[in-house]
Amino acid sequence: MLPGSIQMSGETLSGAEVKGVCEGLAEGTVRLLSLRGCLLSDRDFARLCQGVSQSPSLVQLNLNLGVVSSASRVQHLAQSLLANRSLHSLFLHGNPLTDTGLSLLNNALAVHPSLVSLDLGDCMLGDEGISLICGLLPPDGAKPGLRELTLSANTAVSCSGWARLAIALAHSSQIRTLNLDYNPLGDHIASMLAVCVASSRTLEVLDLEGTGLTNQSAQILLDMVQNYPTPLKSLILAENNISMDLQQKIADFLSEGEEEEESEGLRLEQSMREKATKPAPIFSGVDEEIVAAPHSFGGQVADSDLLEIDRYALLEISD
């Protein structure tokens, strides 16, 4: 178990256990709270949400698999998110939210200042829910916008709903990871997503496992990765009616692109280090010798000056 984390799965929580969790939240010692599939009373769930609202340290909250099981619980969660300012990742996979429940959460999600990762897989969402999600994608002022989005197995969404999402993704999203697995997308929506990927400057992972694709859309995806360089590193196409030959070609092109990117990064880092350690020139005058001061980097460059560390990605723990 990670330091500062509370992780339980499939357990029945007593009032005393919930009280202990709430105390840790209020004290600021809990950064990750995972209660996937746990059972607790409505009263204790309300207490838990109060603890989340007061926590200055919580960055990841996992309530997957039926913990948010009623409209009243959705309302308690929404109220806690309105007060919370620290959360980066919220996992609600496998809760029967429906579009109605998401509409209750939407305002809290939309105004949260630091939320970047959202899992709404298997939440019985439809087209109205997808429309709400589209509004969460772009950055807005100080809000970063979503960077990770999971919408797996929301089979009630129509082609129109997925098309609306594709347009929103292409327009202004900062998404890095998009999981759409086990939705009946078909070749038409997959082709629209190919356009999104080609125009994206951020998308690195796209999961289309079990989405009803054929060689038709796979060929379009192959043309995309072959001819339009993007940040995409992983395209998951398992459990589709796509030939292994096409899948392998796509994987090979993505692998080549990643290797080239890593090689370029190493060359850039080496160049910066050489510039930082290169001695400064010596200038001579008529009556005195002036020696230039050492480079402002002090002869070396710290790794922190060269590498951007994504805070929320270090805490990425999903099902």
Mean pLDDT across 148-159: 98
Let me know if residue 196 belongs to a domain: yes
pLDDT of residue 175: 95
Let me know if residue 203 belongs to a domain: yes
Mean pLDDT across 274-279: 59
Residue 127 has pLDDT above 90, yes or no: yes
Let me know if residue 313 belongs to a domain: no
Report the 10 Å Cβ neighbour count for 93: 22
User: What is the count of structural domains for the chain?
Assistant: 1
pLDDT of residue 257: 60
CA distance 5 to 264: 37
Q: What is the CATH number of the domain that holds 134?
A: 3.80.10.10
Let me know if residue 167 belongs to a domain: yes
pLDDT of residue 143: 81
Residue 285 has pLDDT above 90, yes or no: no
Whole-angstrom CA distances from 246 to 14, 181, 237 are: 52, 19, 10
DSSP states of 2-64: -TTEEE--SPBPPHHHHHHHHHHHHHT--SEEE-TT-B--HHHHHHHHHHHHH-SS--EEE-T
Let me know if residue 165 belongs to a domain: yes
Let me know if residue 246 belongs to a domain: yes
Let me know if residue 297 belongs to a domain: no
Domain that holds residue 246: 125-277
pLDDT band at 140 (very low <50, low <70, confident <90, very high): confident
Let me know if residue 78 belongs to a domain: no
pLDDT of residue 142: 74
Say what the pTM is.
Answer: 0.81
Bridge partner residues of 276 (DSSP): none
Nearest to 303 by CA among 273, 278, 277, 274: 273
Whole-angstrom CA distances from 46 to 39, 70, 78, 103 are: 13, 12, 11, 19
